[in-house]
Amino acid sequence: MATSLDKGPARADVLQSLTGLLLVLFIWGHMFFESSILLGKDAMYWVSKMFEGEPVFGKPYPLLVSGVGVIIFTLIAVHAILAMRKFPGSYRQYQQFNSHMSDMRHPDTTLWYVQVVTGFAMFFLASAHLVVVILQPDNIGPYASSDRIWSGHFWILYALLLVSVHLHAGIGAYRLAMKWAPIPAASSKVTRRRFKLAMWCIIAFFLCLGTASLVTYMKIGKQHAPHAGERYIPTHKQAIQESE
Amino acid sequence: MQIIHTDVLVIGGGLAGQRAAIGAKRRGHEVIVLSLVPAKRSHSAAAQGGMQASLGNCLGGAGDNEDIHFADTVRGSDWGADQEVVRMFAHTAPKAIRELAAWGVPWNRVAKGEREITVDAAKKTICEPDAAHGLITSRNFGGTEKWRACYVSDGTGHAMLYTMSNQAIAANIPVHERMEAIALIHADGRCHGAIVRNLMTGELLAYVASATCIATGGFGRIYRVSTNAIINEGMGAAIALETGVATLGNMEAIQFHPTGIFPAGILVTEGCRGDGGLLLDGKQHRFMPDYEPEKKELASRDVVSRRMEEHITAGQGAKSRFGEHLWLDIRLLGADHINNNLREVKEICQYFLGVDPVRELIPVRPAQHYSMGGVRTDASGQSPTLQGLFAAGEAACWDMHGFNRLGGNSVAETVVAGMIVGEAMADYCESEAGALNLSSALVDEFGRRERQRLADITDGGGRESAFELTRLMQETMTAQVGIFRDQGRLEQAVATLCELQQRSRNIGLRSNAPGANPELVAAYRLQRMLKLAQCVAYGALLRTESRGAHYRADFPRRDDLNWMRRTLASWPEQDAELPVLDYEALDIMRMELPPGWRGYGARDYIEHPDTSARQQQIDTVLSELADADRHARQEALMPFRHLLPEHLRGNNQRLGDES
Amino acid sequence: MNQIPVHQAGRTLRIQVLRHNPRDPASVPQLQTFELEEADSMTLFIALNEIRERQDPSLQFDFVCRAGICGSCGMIINGRPGLACRTLTRDLPDNIVLAPLPAFELIGDLSVNTGKWMRGMSERLETWVHTQGLEQLDVDAIEEAMEPALAEQIYELERCIECGCCVAACGTARMREDFVGAVGLNQITRFRLDPRDERTDAEFYELVGDESGVFGCMTLLGCEDMCPKDLPLATQIAFLRRRMAAAV
């Protein structure tokens, strides 16, 4: 070819999908780690310290958490900017899409709208969460988190974020699969049905998991409310303290 | 009135029209195609089963060549065809298919090795040779000695039309869509283009051209039950007829396809029977071998349709609340074959009948399918009486089908005729005769006349309904000018059509909405369709013999003695009740294949004395050429290559040729 | 002979048609209601013709083959695009709302100019086999061989009838007029698959490697779900996306 190709559109599409994929993997991982509270405060404590690098460096560096927060924040920003290219650009386009969606009653089209709405919601919810994490990276732990959730009333934000992020991530993962996966045409209908089923199962699973953890944090936060602000001391250190 | 100038005007955007357009364009002429609908929606797309061309690649086609294709076609035509034209056609068909293959049609290909086929209700394993692997394959069709119908699953016409249209787009040929030619501009035996109505805005335009080609397909919609698309109203043939100068050939030769689904009349392909499907009666008995022991379900269409109706009349039909019908059974072909090679058939059965042909029988009954007749042309595709007017495809009576067309020969004709007529139009444009010289006054006069005719309808204030009269015409044709014809019914039909013609002058419109106005369209088309219908009915009444698809119960024999003649209809007086019918002799003494028994159908016919004389001549010539190759022997009997454009004269190569 | 019967099935259909004649300055888009006795095996083709013949002769709509193969009669049937000719009224509720396909220029009532759109798409995407020397083709010679399975695969994609249902079903196309739609993307995959077409991926990228092409697709899959011919559009677009992303 004489003229060089405009690589922009291909790269933008790949980057949007890639950032989406990383964020999906991140949030699913995140869910397992945060739900360590279900295994007990010590488990959660251990996880939080692990992320602060204690097992490697011998002492915790909360700034590591801030660093991850910044990376995630960047991914979200890139993902959002790329995704916004696809949003309706004018009120007329928005109207067109809306009437199209309500007339067609087509599930996958409606799911895209769900992603737009949840994406928009996360613009605020996830940002708020991330700002807290980045600015107060040491404020993560069995009591610290619980206090923030209960005494700091963050449970409202987390409940909304939980629903948004899992709808968005689950649907996004399904859409990513349909967008890129090499599925043989002959079995594409069956495969798509399976992907769709998997999507709903994953969403349901993470919503249950997330709700259970959130409720647990709230319970701990409520019990701990009189001592809000005090940090959790893990059982093995409690033993040491008591013996001293 | 806006006037658009072009070298070549092609009316009709189907396979024939677009191929002719591409040919003329390649020769450097400006071409415009007019089409009632977007070109890719033309009725060519409905050809399902295959295109006949004697490639002889697959086992069933082995040994096939132009000679056999020629003979099959002439027998199919019941000796009504122009044999030189049939030769031109059979010779060019392999070239047409190879050209389309290079242009992108995904023809089904021969796969080497063993495969299972269904022949005569039994499974059989055949082994395709290695040498043919990947070459274009073909399936069996009715009335042919070899497997010759090349196909793309059962969407052959669709694939061909899309490839053709895409090539026309590549060649930058403008297609003016939703444009209807309503009159040909002509004077002193020379055609200069057409007056055209825009079907979106209702406005009239003039297209002025050196060469005008009618490629508007058939006129099946003069019948109530037809496999034809609803745009097949024969307007191209009708405006040629209305010149009073051009003639229509063999209009009474109407084909009825054996397998229209019952009751909607939608076609299911002959490929169903070609691939091994059977016809069953009300008792699920396979009845065709009782009538046609040689070819059974695969006799020519006229014969099979007649046998089916005969069997129903004998009380053997299956009864349903819609009336009587027969069954098509393709269950024995198996799910795989149906899903791969007959998928359009499967879809049609599912959507229109709620039937799964893998497990269930398909209700069928013959339905009007094809018009062998049309604008009479010479071998180059030009009207012998109106210079500068050409015709190609079903709209033409080039006359390779005579009184019955073989399945798969029509899509083949569209492309072959397009290849030949495109060149002929280019030649004409380049000749002295083709120089454009007409006065703008002539164009204005035709424009005024057409505007007046439309105004007579819109402002006439009559009380007749165009829709109602159309229905009456269609019912008359289906009931009285159908598969079985006789004097009584035909006289009645002619009288009814005369009466409808009168009433059609008294149409009143209920709507005068600006734009296309579908009611006005129905009204002016009806007036023209009635003329075509009258040519069919009146021609059928006067033809007192049975030949091919034209069957007279009162004259059941083919009569070579009196009817070795082609009917030519013209309509010189616009207000006349009936067309003028002339006859053009078919000269047996020039035939390569003199009349005889077709190999199926009735054995009984009235012989012409020339037949045996010509046969003797042929025997003598051939005995002197015993050592010559088949091309030389053919050339000695009836030379035809001089009629073809030079680049189409070469011999077709085949597998196993000695090179 | 084959006769079309008229047999009443006893249900009265309420057919609402979104009517508008852009040629008529006085016309404003509005729903007009027609009542019609349902007959056995009645399709929307039969119903609409009956309405035009008996109730309102000015009603505009397009039918050609009336057998589901030509793609003329795409319209919105109770909110979703489909081919009217093969839609049986017995599969629809008593109340039927018909509207023209959106995303195409309106000619009048249910008639839209899909032909113009499709021709534009074909010209833009150059949907024909690009081969050198087609004009000097030796038509006497035996054709080039092709693998039988490949020919069938190409036909699978060639079955598209350009009815426009996929465009009308596409949220992207509804928002962006220059989007080529599944119909265009499918045709690119059809020609890319065809060994007779000599174009490279870089050349295809030039045609569809942007936001109005394959990278504009948001994978809403309306095309796949509404395609009357059940073409494997989702997998084809995914395939093209991978190829085009790899082409740069």
Q: Is the pLDDT of residue B564 over 60?
A: yes
In chain B, which residues have their Cβ closer than 8 Å to the Cβ of C147?
109, 134
CB-based contact B515 C62, cutoff 8 Å: no
Average pLDDT in chain A: 93
3-state helix, strand, coil in chain B (%, to 5): 40, 20, 40
Residue A232 lies in a domain: yes
In three-state secondary structure terms, B588 is helix
Q: Nearest chain B Cα to C163, which residue?
A: B41
Angle, vertex CA B347, rays to CA B346 and CA B349, nearest 5: 65
CA distance B554 to B537: 15
Amino acid of residue C230: D
Encode pLDDT of B439-498 as tens digits: 899 999 999 999 999 999 999 889 999 999 999 999 999 999 999 999 999 999 999 999
CA distance A211 to B567: 87
Q: Is the pLDDT of residue C5 over 90?
A: no
Q: Which helix (H) or strand (E) holds B207?
A: strand B204-214
pLDDT number for residue B167? 97
Residue A78 lies in a domain: yes
Pairing of strands B323-329, B175-177: unpaired
From the candidates B87, B190, B257, B525, give the one annotated as an active-site residue. B257
pLDDT number for residue A4? 76
d(CA C217, nearest CA chain B) in Å: 25
Q: Is the pLDDT of residue A239 over 80?
A: no
CB-based contact C21 B514, cutoff 8 Å: yes
What mean pLDDT is predicted for residues A91-115? Answer: 95
Q: What is the pTM of this model?
A: 0.95
Question: Could you tell me where the beta strands, DSSP code E, fall in B216-373?
Answer: 248-249, 254-261, 278-280, 318-320, 323-329, 362-371
CA distance B606 to C70: 45
CB-based contact C59 B518, cutoff 8 Å: yes
pLDDT number for residue B233? 98
Does A touch C (3+ CB pairs < 8 Å)?
yes
CB-based contact C219 A88, cutoff 8 Å: no
pLDDT number for residue A2? 46
CA distance B257 to B386: 33
Q: What is the CATH number of domain C12-112?
A: 3.10.20.30
Active site residue B158: no
pLDDT number for residue A104? 95
Q: Is the pLDDT of residue C6 over 60?
A: no
CA distance B172 to C123: 9
What are the tokens at B199?
A: 């079907």
Residues 29-48 of A with CB under 8 A from C: none
Amino acid of residue B439: S
Encode pLDDT of C117-140 as tens digits: 999 999 999 999 999 988 889 999
Q: Is the pLDDT of residue B294 over 60?
A: yes
CB-based contact A109 C171, cutoff 8 Å: yes
Q: Nearest chain B Cα to C111, which residue?
A: B200
* Helix C181-193 and helix C233-247, axial crossing angle in degrees, nearest 10: 70
- Closest by CA to A42, choosing from A177, A141, A181, A146, is A141
Residue A92 lies in a domain: no
Average pLDDT in chain C: 94
**Interchain contact A89–C (C-beta under 8 A):** yes
Average pLDDT in chain B: 96
Q: Is the pLDDT of residue A154 over 60?
A: yes
Encode pLDDT of B114-163 as tens digits: 999 999 999 999 999 999 999 999 999 999 999 999 999 999 999 999 99
CB-based contact A112 C171, cutoff 8 Å: yes
CB-based contact A109 C222, cutoff 8 Å: yes
d(CA C33, nearest CA chain B) in Å: 18
What is the secondary structure of B366-413 as a DSSP string?
A: EEEEEES-EEE--TTSB-SSSBTEEE-GGGEE--SSTT-PPTTHHHHH
Of A6, A93, A104, the CB nearest to C175: A93
Residue pairs spanning A and C at CB distance below 8 A: 105
What is the secondary structure of A141-202 as a DSSP string?
A: SHHHHHHHHHTT-HHHHHHHHHHHHHHHHHHHHHHHHHHH----GGGHHHHHHHHHHHHHHH
Cα diameter, chain C: 63
Encode pLDDT of B409-453 as tens digits: 999 999 999 999 999 999 999 999 999 888 899 999 999 999 999
Contact A79, A23 (CB under 8 A): yes
Rg (CA), chain A: 21
Q: Among positive and negative, which fits the CA dihedral B465, B471, B472, B474?
A: positive
CB-based contact B653 C142, cutoff 8 Å: yes
Q: Is the pLDDT of residue C33 over 60?
A: yes
pLDDT number for residue B513? 84
In chain B, which residues have their Cβ closer than 8 Å to the Cβ of C115?
37-41, 177-178
Amino acid of residue B160: M
Show the domain range for A207. Answer: 10-87+106-243
CA distance B593 to B657: 25
Percentage of the residues of chain B whose pLDDT score is greater than 70: 100
Q: Is the pLDDT of residue A240 over 90?
A: no
Encode pLDDT of B207-226 as tens digits: 999 999 999 999 999 999 99
Cα diameter, chain A: 80
**Interchain contact A83–C (C-beta under 8 A):** no
pLDDT number for residue A1? 43
What mean pLDDT is predicted for residues B271-280? Answer: 95
d(CA A10, nearest CA chain C) in Å: 5
Q: What are all long-range contacts of B230-233, with beta carbons under 8 Å and residues at least 24 apart?
A: B230/C63, B230/C64, B230/C65, B230/C66, B231/B36, B231/B37, B231/B43, B231/C64, B232/B43, B233/B525, B233/B528, B233/B529
**Interchain contact A184–C (C-beta under 8 A):** yes
Active site residue B257: yes
What are the tokens at A91?
A: 């009120």
Q: Is the pLDDT of residue B171 over 90?
A: yes
CB-based contact C245 A13, cutoff 8 Å: yes
| Number of domains composing chain A | 1
Residue pairs spanning B and C at CB distance below 8 A: 256
pLDDT number for residue B486? 97
Cα-to-chain-centroid distance, residue B21: 19
What are the tokens at A126?
A: 């996830």
Q: Is the pLDDT of residue C10 over 90?
A: no
**Interchain contact C205–A (C-beta under 8 A):** yes
Residue A122 lies in a domain: yes
Encode pLDDT of A21-80 as tens digits: 999 999 999 999 999 999 999 999 999 999 999 989 989 999 999 999 999 999 999 999
Q: Nearest chain C Cα to A12, which residue?
A: C215
Question: Could you tell me where the beta strands, DSSP code E, fall in C45-125?
Answer: 74-77, 80-83, 95-99, 106-108, 111-112
CA distance B15 to B47: 11
What mean pLDDT is predicted for residues C92-111? Answer: 97
In chain A, which residues have their Cβ closer than 8 Å to the Cβ of C213?
9
In degrees and rounded to multiples of 5, residue B51 shows phi and psi of -120, 125
In chain A, which residues have their Cβ closer than 8 Å to the Cβ of C211?
9, 85
Encode pLDDT of B537-546 as tens digits: 999 999 999 9
pLDDT number for residue C41? 87
Q: What is the CATH number of domain C147-247?
A: 1.10.1060.10
B343-379 in b/e form (b: 16+ CB < 10 A) is bbbbbbbebbbebebbeebbbbbbbbbbbbbbbbbeb
Q: Is the pLDDT of residue B395 over 90?
A: yes
Contact B629, B68 (CB under 8 A): no
CB proximity list for B496: less than 8 A, separation 6 or greater: B472, B476, B480
What mean pLDDT is predicted for residues C7-19? Answer: 85
Percentage of the residues of chain A whose pLDDT score is greater than 70: 97
CA distance B638 to B84: 7
Residue B359, phi-psi category: left (phi > 0), alpha (psi -120 to 50), beta (remainder): alpha
Residue A100 lies in a domain: no
Of A10, A181, A192, the CB nearest to C244: A10
Encode pLDDT of B579-618 as tens digits: 999 999 999 999 999 999 999 998 899 999 999 999 999 9
Cα-to-chain-centroid distance, residue A61: 23
Encode pLDDT of B372-386 as tens digits: 999 999 999 999 999
Q: Where are the domains of chain C?
A: 12-112, 147-247
Angle, vertex CA B269, rays to CA B268 and CA B270, nearest 5: 130
Residue A99 lies in a domain: no
CB-based contact C80 A103, cutoff 8 Å: yes
Q: What is the dihedral of CA B564, B547, B421, B166, to 10 degrees?
A: -170
Contact B460, B128 (CB under 8 A): no
**Interchain contact C18–A (C-beta under 8 A):** no
What is the secondary structure of A54-72 as a DSSP string?
A: HHHHSS--THHHHHHHHHH
In degrees and rounded to multiples of 5, residue A194 shows phi and psi of -65, -45
Q: Is B385 exposed, middle or buried (0-12, 13-18, 19+ CB in 10 A)?
A: middle
CB atoms within 10 A of CB B573: 11
Q: What is the CATH number of the domain that holds A18?
A: 1.20.1300.10
Does B touch A (3+ CB pairs < 8 Å)?
no
* Confidence tier at A153 by pLDDT (50, 70, 90): very high
* Confidence tier at B514 by pLDDT (50, 70, 90): confident
